[in-house]
A and B are shown apart, each in its own frame.
Chain A
Amino acid sequence: MRQTAGTLNRTWLTILGILCLAAGTALILQASGTLPTLLNTAPAWQSVVTGDLHAFLAPQGVAAVILIIGVIIGVLGLLWIIAQVPRRNPAGAYRLHGDGSRGFTLCDPSVLAAAVEKQINTLPGVVTSAALLRGTAYAPDLTLKVTVNDRADVQDVIHRIQTTTLPELSSALEAPLQSSRLQIDISGRTQSTGTVVHSTGTVVY
């Protein structure tokens, strides 16, 4: 149900991996003597910086630049850590009106999610469910977590959700679902919804 920073992690790890790979390759080439031959750089045994480094770091501008770079790297690292916290990222209120000149129509996604949950809770074997809508009213994105008991026919539950629940949500919003995710959990709890009797006989009052 919650979103993690998977894409962000992959992107930054790829960037850092490429940088580390490039640095490692350069070090190997430098150590083996290939790099000085190719790019006419100093050989591995020769000192590049001679004398005291204080002369290089003495100007105040250098210290300030290093400080700013350090702060930027630190902030980026902190933001990356904060991004690891899983978030629900629910959608804002869905706007269901056209141009709005005659008035606005708003529907909170949690209202639709509650209706979807109520509908799913009536399916045989479903103990509980949770729905979360993201995206926009024209391109909704549904995430479902359905908990069924150990006697439930999971394939039947999935089939009913795919053939009834999802099309009905799409019908209510009058927009196709951009994507839908379904997570099924198994629970030892029983479905506390009473007994369902499929009767074809005459009901006598």
Chain B
Amino acid sequence: MNPPGAHATPLPRTGDAAEDYGEAGTRGQTVLAARVIEKIAGQVASDESSAGGSSGGFLGIGTRADLSARPKASVELAGNIATLRVEVGMLYPVPLRQATEELRRRIATRVTELTGVDVRQVDIRISWLTTGTNGRRRLL
């Protein structure tokens, strides 16, 4: 039994390759695990924006904010349509509306490009903000 996932849609191509679509179904199908989409979304958020995640800790205890860590993402799939939820941390004081709107756009675009899954909505929760000074001056 296959785990729940999304059926990858082939990227639109032109020319003779487009005629292969009908034959593709007879050769098999590609199923993406939801976890793949979650990891891609998290990696896109980490690589292509200033958003960060959490690192360290054990069983969610003792985690610390880390701008270089991959944000946690989860996906809800309905066929080939995905709704993503991303939990991110950001630098303070960036304009949060602009930054999250850009992040949402990047995640939706890149996940669709890389997987063929149609990302309809990206919910973003800002879980922490860092000033870059970690609250205290660094001891000399």
Show the binding face of A for B, using Cβ within 8 Å.
96-98, 101-108, 111-112, 114-115, 117-119, 121-122, 168-169, 171-174, 193-197
A-B contact pairs, 8 of them (CB 8 A): A96-B126, A115-B93, A118-B92, A119-B131, A122-B137, A172-B93, A194-B136, A194-B138
Chain B: interface residue total (CB-CB under 8 A): 33
User: In the complex, what distance in Å separates the CA atom of A173 from the CA atom of B125?
Assistant: 14
- Min distance, Cβ B63 to any Cβ of chain A, angstroms: 15
Main secondary structure of the interface of B (DSSP, over half): mixed
- Min distance, Cβ A161 to any Cβ of chain B, angstroms: 14
Show the binding face of B for A, using Cβ within 8 Å.
83-84, 92-98, 100-101, 104, 108, 120-131, 133-140
B140 contact set on A, CB distance < 8 A: 194-195, 197
* Contacts beyond the supplied A111-B126, A111-B127, A119-B131: 12 A-B pairs with Cβ under 8 Å: A96-B100, A104-B121, A105-B100, A106-B125, A108-B127, A115-B131, A121-B135, A168-B93, A169-B93, A172-B93, A172-B94, A194-B136
User: B121, A102: Cβ atoms under 8 Å?
Assistant: yes
User: A103, B124: Cβ atoms under 8 Å?
Assistant: yes
User: In the complex, what distance in Å separates the CA atom of A106 from the CA atom of B124?
Assistant: 6
User: B135, A112: Cβ atoms under 8 Å?
Assistant: no
User: B125, A194: Cβ atoms under 8 Å?
Assistant: no
User: In the complex, what distance in Å separates the CA atom of A108 from the CA atom of B125?
Assistant: 8
- Min distance, Cβ A61 to any Cβ of chain B, angstroms: 58
User: A168, B121: Cβ atoms under 8 Å?
Assistant: no
Residue of B nearest to A116 (CB): B92
